Amino acid sequence: MSVMTRRQLAGLVVLTLMWGLNWPIMKLSLRELSPLYFRALTMGLGAVALAIYFGARGIRLMPQGRGEWRDVLVLGLPNVLGWHALSIIGVSQLPAGRAAILGFTMPVWTVLLSVLFYRERLTARLVLAVCAVLSGITLLLWDELAQLAGRPAGIAWMQGAAFCWALGTIWMRHARLTLPAETLVVWMMLWSALVLAVLAIALEPSQRWSFSLPVWLSLIWSVLINYGISQVIWFALARALPASTSAMSLMAVPLTGVLSAPLIVGEWPRWQDMAAMLSVVIAIGAVLLRRD
């Protein structure tokens, strides 16, 4: 069993904080930007920043041949375009912490899809995970329906996003890639940002490009931290750490999102959020944490 170094542990903690804080920070940005414009802008600039960084490190940045371009387009459809488009719509309709909880049901759907389509074994732990996730979703759906200003459609958007992320994860596992993972991510982000920009122009009202200072800061965070530094840290950790260790980070992200939302956007969690978060943490642990 590999032991984490202090540097890896620090990287994992920083990454968890970045991913968790990103949910209420996105919500802050949406006070003055429409969802698709926000995603197109931050993802596009983030992809350019990553390309500059990876290029300076000597990583091959251009896909070669039809096969590599096909990988960029096919894998980017659920992994980047589907996840980022649907999740930002979900965030716009739900409290940030609630959206984070629903988004991180992804590991359970990944394993369940693997059972249904790739003949992986159905275990008691997976059954527990599915039951825990469904109970959490039911709690949040019931609370949204009970509120006069509830947005139950936001739950559907977030579950669609989680499903896309899960499907993309499975496709990535079974893909025979010849281009660097860094290059794949940059190009998936670039073409997805272009598609989102076209959709934003077609579907959303004209965007005003003067923002308050907090929103400018949230945009800088989204470009440099969410799409930049966190991606670099993740690439470094994903190669070095076992999946069970990464799972611990995933479980902490919804907690960070829920607890930071009152400080960043003034959204206080309800008891349903805390119960649903506990259900999702149990589910992630059931499917990802291995027994020693």
- Residue 109 maps to a domain: yes
The pLDDT assigned to 2 comes to 53
- The domain of 265 spans 6-288
- Residue 42 maps to a domain: yes
The pLDDT assigned to 1 comes to 44
- Residue 28 maps to a domain: yes
- Residue 21 maps to a domain: yes
Q: What is the pLDDT of residues 121-165, one digit of tens each?
A: 878 888 888 888 889 889 898 888 888 667 889 999 999 999 998
Query: Could you tell me which residues come within 8 angstroms of residue 145 by beta carbon, excluding any fewer than 6 positions away?
Result: 152
Question: What residue type is 136 in one-letter code?
Answer: G
Confidence of residue 238 (pLDDT cuts 50, 70, 90): low
The pLDDT assigned to 58 comes to 95
Percent of the chain with pLDDT over 90: 57
Q: Which phi and psi (to 5°) does residue 4 adopt?
A: -70, 140
Q: What is the C-alpha separation between 233 and 237, in angstroms, rounded?
A: 6
User: Residue-wise over 71-92: b if at least 16 C-beta within 10 A, else e?
Assistant: bbeebbbbbbbbbbbbbbbbbb
- Residue 281 maps to a domain: yes
Judge whether 15 and 230 are in contact, CB under 8 Å: yes
User: Where would I find the H helices in the chain?
Assistant: 6-29, 35-56, 65-76, 83-93, 96-103, 106-118, 124-146, 152-174, 181-203, 213-220, 230-240, 243-264, 271-288
Q: Hey, what are 284's tokens? A: 């992630």
Domain count, the chain: 1
- Residue 108 maps to a domain: yes
What is the pTM assigned to this prediction?
0.89
Mean pLDDT comparison of 1-5, 8-12, 266-270, highest-scoring range: 266-270
- Residue 263 maps to a domain: yes
Sign of CA dihedral 66, 195, 217, 9: negative
- Residue 1 maps to a domain: no
